[in-house]
Structure 1
Amino acid sequence: MNASIVEDRSHPRLPDLLGAYHLANQAEKGTPAAAVAGLPAVYRGEVDDPAAAFTADTVLLATPPGHALPAACVVLKAAHGDRAPEIKRLWVTPEARRQGLARALMAEALRRAAASGAPAVRLTVWNWRQEPLALYRSLGFETVATWDARPDLLCLEKPLRDRPERAARPTADDPIELLTPDAVRAHAAGGLSALLLDAVDSGASVGFLSPLAADEAAAWWTGVAEEADRGVRDVWAAHGPDGSLTGVVTLVRAGAANGRHRGEIARLLVHRSARGRGLARRLLGAAEARAAATGLGLLVLDTQTGSPAERLYRATGWTAAGTVPDYAADPSGVLRATTLYYKRLG
């Protein structure tokens, strides 16, 4: 989707968007207001005069293709003292959701923050807002020490410059564990969804088209939890120091009676912030070891031909069995070839 994004804190549509945001937010917090006039004074001031309320800030609005009026907004609050710039007031009208407007606005806000020389950008989000939280995680935001102690409010930050200490951190800091079905459910709308959204956003062919909605990603992982309950699929996840998920892999067991010696490696995902440190190899190794320990003698997988994943599989003893042209569409909808791999265990 190619939304039109403009910077305009005086746009006549902006008061409506901000008013809808604040009314929805108050209702979610359990302190509903019937109209803008009933909002707390600080929020009412933003709606009444956005240009004055955000005079030092960047206000972006997004208009979907074929529409005359903006349907989404976000505010990038200017850095103040030693505080990083902060993203606020991300709102998409209900009828314009699932079109990638929120992601497009976030990408532009992050681009502008980086261009300003800011080392990081921050935001807050209520912990019950799972869809926005999944979006932020997919964009590289991590939970940090709170600067706002209100209950249920999460403080997130995304570095905009490389942090040497992170690049040098060994992957041993990212322990890998076999998730129980309940753990998969608990992470479905958060860390697992964020990993899937990040993969699709970075162009990986993992079964979904872009833009992938957070609720669709969460629903897929909920289905995986049900498969784990039935013993059909195992799930391993890697955890970063802050508890966020940095990678995942699943092992699917063949259901046919004549194929119970066989399993399939599926959805090997490593977040962009954790790549280049051998985490994919460690996840793959965990799945292979479990497969061998539980009596599987053969593993198979498929991956987009020419993708970086092919180097990993070839380097870890997998054998290419053949290539199928136009097998699956990449996230942009372009048909790509897929290479089938197998590996004998034991």
Structure 2
Amino acid sequence: MHTHIEENRSHPRLADLLGAYHLANQEEKGAAVTTVAELPAAYRREVEDPAVAFSADTVLLAVPAGVREPAGCVVLKAPHEGRAPEIKRLWVAPGARRKGLAKRLMAEALRRAEASGAPAVRLTVWSWREEPLALYRALGFETVPSWDERPDLLCLERPLDVVERLSPDAVRAHAPTGLAALLVDAVEGGASVGFLAPLETAEATAWWLRVAEETARGVRDVWVARTAGGSLAGVVTLVRTGTANGRHRGEIARLLVHRSARGRGLGSRLLATAEAHAAATGLGLLVLDTQTDSPAERLYRGAGWTAAGTIPDFAADPAGVLRATTLYYKRLG
């Protein structure tokens, strides 16, 4: 089981979470009050009727594994007057902290912002809130000129990555540069992706050129995550089964995120994009394999994949050491 993220601005628990957020925030600002009724009017309205206060916005709730009620929330404010969407009201109940809820909420908020086509997302945070600030920095947010001049309030912004499908010609064009670099980086980082270290750029390029031919034949689809600066930060491919009795299934292969771009939810976005395309094009079952006990297993389990079994000594890692592999599947639709 894993943390469930749901969108619901009308959940009965939301008012309690927002109330706790605002009461704690007022105390941190040196303006402590003891009840929601004593909050400034704008904050009080949010607590009293979140569905109305955030009617144009996306409200996300985090429900921890094994728990029925949400224990965290975040609001993604809709773009207004040409401004970037803004993340606000990130809160996790004290008893549910240190379980990754805040990170999951932020990852989903960023995914929603990216899916909207926004070029960037922004937020504000008090300078003394060291833990949330560290999370935002880790997610790629940087301090920008202030749009809110309150003392000690930092304004942060992060350019958003774009996930796009590559044509065969685009795969060929990126093969010697961005795509090869992703594969080389994965092998250097110890990922078991079919190659031994050191992997030369020429060998990585040749592999991607073969993928381009598969893409042209309709055997494989390729998606990349492109940063705001245009560089490739991640890739995933979907391979279709060629046999007559296996046309209902596909395989997720080469899900790679550059080490410099990890922690931003790109792996989840790439995987979700490939899954959605597979379902939309008639596939009902997906499979994949990954090195046992690798970080990728957490991603797949969190995305609802089921482990089917483990094979010992299945493949050598980049250093040549035989490692076990775990097979996963996911039903679509």
- TM-score, normalising length: structure 1: 0.52
Counterpart check, 1:288 vs 2:261:
no
Alignment of 1:179-190 (within 5 A): 179-190=166-177
Quick one: structure 1 residues 322 and 171, their matched pair in 2 at CA, closer, same or farther if it must change by over 3 Å? farther
Percent same amino acid among aligned pairs?
73
SS class of match (1:243): coil
Counterpart residue identity of residue 168, structure 1 = F
Cα displacement string for residues 243-267 of structure 1 (whole angstroms, at most 9, x for unaligned residues): 1100000000000000000000000
Q: 1:263 aligns with which of 244, 250, 258?
A: 250
Structure 2 CA distance for aligned equivalents of residues 304 and 165 of structure 1? 26
Counterpart of 2:141 in structure 1 is 168
For 1:236-315, what aligned pairs fall within 5 Å after superposition?
236-315=223-302
Q: Which amino acid aligns with 1:295?
A: G
Q: Which amino acid aligns with 1:315?
A: G
Identify which of 193, 206, 212 aligns with 1:206: 193
SS in 1 for 2:286: strand
- Structure 2 unaligned regions, length at least 5: 1-135, 143-156
Measure, in 1, the Cα distance between the counterparts of 2:247 and 2:137: 46
Equivalent residue, structure 2, for 1:194: 181
Offset at residue 242 of structure 1 (A): 1.5
Match of 2:165 in 1: 178
- Matches of 2:254 and 2:235, distance apart in 1: 7
Q: Is the 8 A contact 1:188 1:222 kept in 2?
A: yes
8 Å CA contact 1:171–1:278 kept in 2: the answer is: no
Give the whole-Å Cα distance in 1 for the aligned partners of 2:230 and 2:162.
10
Note the aligned Cα RMSD (angstroms).
1.7
Q: Distance in 2 between matches of 1:173 and 1:180?
A: 22
* CA distance 1:326–1:165, change in 2 (3 Å): closer
3-state secondary structure, aligned to 1:190: helix
Aligned twin of 1:150:
none
TM-score (structure 2 length as normaliser) = 0.54
Contact 1:171/1:277, CA 8 A, preserved across alignment: no
Distance (whole Å) between structure 1 residues aligned to residue 326 and residue 139 of structure 2: 34
One-letter identity of the residue aligned with 2:174: H
Structure 2 CA distance for aligned equivalents of residues 209 and 172 of structure 1: 34
Q: Distance in 2 between matches of 1:227 and 1:237?
A: 16
Report the alpha carbon displacement of residue 171 of structure 1 after superposing the two structures with TM: 7.7
Take 2:185 and 2:300, find their aligned partners in 1: how far apart are those partners? 21
Relative distance call for 1:164 and 1:228 in structure 2 (3 A) is same
C-alpha distance after superposition, 1:128-163 (max 9, x if no partner): xxxxxxxxxxxxxxxxxxxxxxxxxxxxxxxxxxx9
Q: Does 2:218 correspond to 1:218?
A: no
Post-superposition offset of 1:167: 2.4
Structure 1 residue 166 displacement after superposition: 7.2
What amino acid is aligned across from residue 317 of structure 1 in structure 2? G
Q: Which runs of 5+ in 1 are unaligned?
A: 1-162
SS in 2 for 1:228: helix
* Equivalent AA in structure 1 for residue 240 of structure 2: R
Name the SS of the counterpart of 1:205 in structure 2: coil
In 1: Cα distance, 2:253 partner to 2:238 partner = 6
Q: Is residue 318 of structure 2 the alignment partner of residue 326 of structure 1?
A: no
Task: Name segments (4+ residues, structure 1) moved above 3 Å.
Answer: 163-166, 169-172
Which amino acid letter does the alignment assign opposite residue 301 of structure 1? L
Partner AA of 2:177 in structure 1: G
* Letter paired with 2:264: R
Partner of 1:59: none
Q: Distance in 2 between matches of 1:189 and 1:238?
A: 17
Give CA-to-partner distance per residue, 1:199-221, whole Å, 9 cap, x none. 00000000000000100000000
